[in-house]
Copies of this chain bind each other. A is one copy, B any other.
């Protein structure tokens, strides 16, 4: 691979977060529950004390819950807040919602994915027939006044309309969900080059749509490559360079969540996190010790994972590790 050429897009994590994530921004993060959350970047947001964030996610368990617990989030538009076997409902999330510390608007996973896609496509909405007859239509977390007074919120949670192409006598109903165009999207990828071309291995979830929908995009990556190396196989690159504003090289940047092909989730840490997150006092101590008390992700991993790091490294054939303790 040789030496990495410098490029204006390549920067340190603290610099990228400082430049692209601001108090009260509308943000979104990539990954899904316990996979490929941009955890290093999330921890850096917590370290920098950025708050009042408005977040849009589908099912980002671990990353979302840490941001909520740390008090970074004031509003969330979500589909799901659980973390597989490690949290039926994320613990900080549950507590902060009941304590009225964050406002929530509920959609479905498909709807959130469509909203990101609408933003990526540059259209104001996309249609679906999901959720007809449910309270996802009838009950709004942000009422119409709140929406009117906040220019950044969609004017309506969603709109139900008649299908104008219907040939049936009874009109068919269609739900339109509004586009999301966040200020910044942060994703973690296995590989990126210094120009921003990005390759995700395994499932991409909605990362690509989230990035394309956003004003700015930060990609953290386990491996940073020189330009051209990814061009031998363009069909496996999901983001062209012109979609990406900052590229940050962070080995194990998704830890403690999994990064397919490189490392597994740290099941033992996630079990520990369950007990941490179930009390705000314990969670505050965790933030103090593990996040604010470490200067960067490498130190965090050293503290959280220690000598288990070898165990979570993935078998290159299967993409996961058989050496982690899962029960």
Contacts and interface: CB of A to CB of B under 8 A. Distances in A.
A128 interface: yes
A176 B155 CA distance: 20
Given A164-B156, A165-B156, A166-B155, A125 B125 contact: no
B164 A159 contact: yes
Copies in the complex: 2
A310 interface: no
Interface in A117-160: 122-129, 151, 154-156, 159
Contacts of A103: none
Nearest to A154: B165
Nearest to A161: B164
A129 B125 contact: no
Interface in A235-290: 235-236
A151 B176 contact: no
A174 B156 CA distance: 17
Interface in A167-185: 167, 172, 174, 176, 178-179
A235 to B, nearest CB: 7
B124 A166 contact: yes
B124 A125 contact: no
A126 B125 contact: no
Contact of A155 (B154, B155, B167): B167
Nearest to A204: B235
Given A159-B165, A161-B164, 4 more contacts: A123-B128, A124-B163, A125-B127, A165-B176
